[in-house]
Structure 1
Amino acid sequence: DTPMALKEKISQGLNADILVLSGGVSMGDYDFTKAVFRELGADMNFWKLAIRPGQPLAFGKIQGKLAFGLPGNPVSSMVTFEQLVRPALLKMSGCRSYGRPVVQAIFQERFSKRGDRRHFLRGILTREDGEFRVRTTGDQGSGILTSMVKANCLIDVPVEVERLNPGDEVAVQLLSGEAWLATTEQGHSGGNRLSCC
């Protein structure tokens, strides 16, 4: 973790169509990405997002190439990849639809947060009695990898929502094939509709 080594690696990466880094975008002693991006003449759109997990995140262009600096915490990196990098890759590949399928589900727990960030909770989606239900995978810390490993969906909690109670309806982004099959079957039976974001 030195500025010189990072600059060398980023320069090599600029031979590709898109550059994706993980780590080094926050305010720690070894977070050099911001300085190196600037040194390479990056035109950055933003350095932070009002989301959790994944607030420290860099995006812009370096020498005309899209450049993403994802957080170093594994869950933060995965969530921000899903929200930003995956759609960008699909769009660059010519796909017409690049959002994960989204369904409405009934939340099964209590959850509270401050009204300053959008949250992506890792969740487990099931279908019971003809309706989708969702609960979290447990502890939601950005360093808890099992919260993502157990998940088949992301529960999208908007900035302005500060509290969720059992029975509240939430938007859920599907991640796994198992969740996709459940929603497809439900769609054929005239239940909850799928939509892409």
Structure 2
Amino acid sequence: VTHKPRVAIVATGDELVDVTTPPGPGQLVDSSAHALDALVREAGGIPHRLGIAGDTLEALAAMLATALTYDVVISTGGVSVGDRDHVRAALEAAGVTLELYKVAMKPGKPFSFGRRGGIPVFGLPGNPVSTVVGFELFLRPALLAMQGALAVERPRAPVELAAGYRKQAGRAHFLRAHVVRDGARLLARVHAKQGSAMMSSMIGCNALVELAAELTEIPPGGTAPAILLEAV
């Protein structure tokens, strides 16, 4: 693909309602699909939100049949191991060969990738922050590469953390943070709330601070690499 890729966005989950519908008990607003719409546009693609598929194999299969007529498919939710998470089964039934499932990262572990012919199919977690982080790490570079871009990665730079941070070993962590320049230094303040469902934690953040999988603690003033989401 050298033209602007047409990107199908499929949200999944009986609990989801569109942003135009007030959520009732047990319901959640589908913020992920709207975030993806904006992110795809920013990366040069043409987003097409196909709607919300219910948690049945039949509903997912019907929507995927339409989605697979586009250049790229993105689904959100339904890629974990819950009894009602049918996305993997629906993809396999549609002839999509899964090449990757689960990444040792937080947020965004239940990420998947597959293909049907030349159509790439990305499965993102349902939690909105996981969706955004997964897009930044995997989909944005892919969309830019499909358009012939030579530089597909966002700038990276070492930053100094204002406060320490602890984590368990085993997964890389991508922390939402606000980075400011202080002379030759870049100072990062990590958002206090790092839950993957906390979309509000993205407000005011302009970087993702990366802590390696084997790392368990970084002290105040410690240095870590960061993905800069905007110029600092």
- TM-score, normalised by the number of residues in structure 1: 0.87
SS at structure 1 position matched to 2:73: strand
State how far apart, in whole Å, the 2-side matches of 1:87 and 1:129 are. 30
How do 1:95-174 residues align onto structure 2 when only pairs under 5 Å count? 95-174=149-228
SS at structure 1 position matched to 2:114: strand
- TM-score, normalised by the number of residues in structure 2: 0.74
Q: Which runs of 4+ in 1 moved over 3 A?
A: none
State how far apart, in whole Å, the 2-side matches of 1:96 and 1:63 are. 24
CA deviations on 1:114-142 (whole Å, 9 max, x unpaired) are: 11001100000011243110011211000
CA deviations on 1:146-187 (whole Å, 9 max, x unpaired) are: 1112211100111121111111111111112xxx1x3xxxxx
How do 1:1-197 residues align onto structure 2 when only pairs under 5 Å count? 1=54, 2-176=56-230, 180=231, 182=232
Shift of 1:113: 1.1
How many corresponding residue pairs? 178
State how far apart, in whole Å, the 1-side matches of 2:98 and 2:65 are. 16
CA deviations on 1:72-128 (whole Å, 9 max, x unpaired) are: 000000000100011100000100010010111111111111110011000000112
Please, which runs of 5 or more residues in structure 1 have no aligned partner? 183-197
State how far apart, in whole Å, the 1-side matches of 2:118 and 2:86 are. 21
Larger helix percent: 1
Shift of 1:25: 0.6
Contact (CA 8 Å) 1:37, 1:62: kept in 2 or not? no
State how far apart, in whole Å, the 2-side matches of 1:24 and 1:4 are. 14
SS at structure 2 position matched to 1:56: coil
Please, which runs of 5 or more residues in structure 2 have no aligned partner? 1-53
**Which residue does 2:14 correspond to in 1?**
none
Amino acid in the other structure paired with 2:83 = D
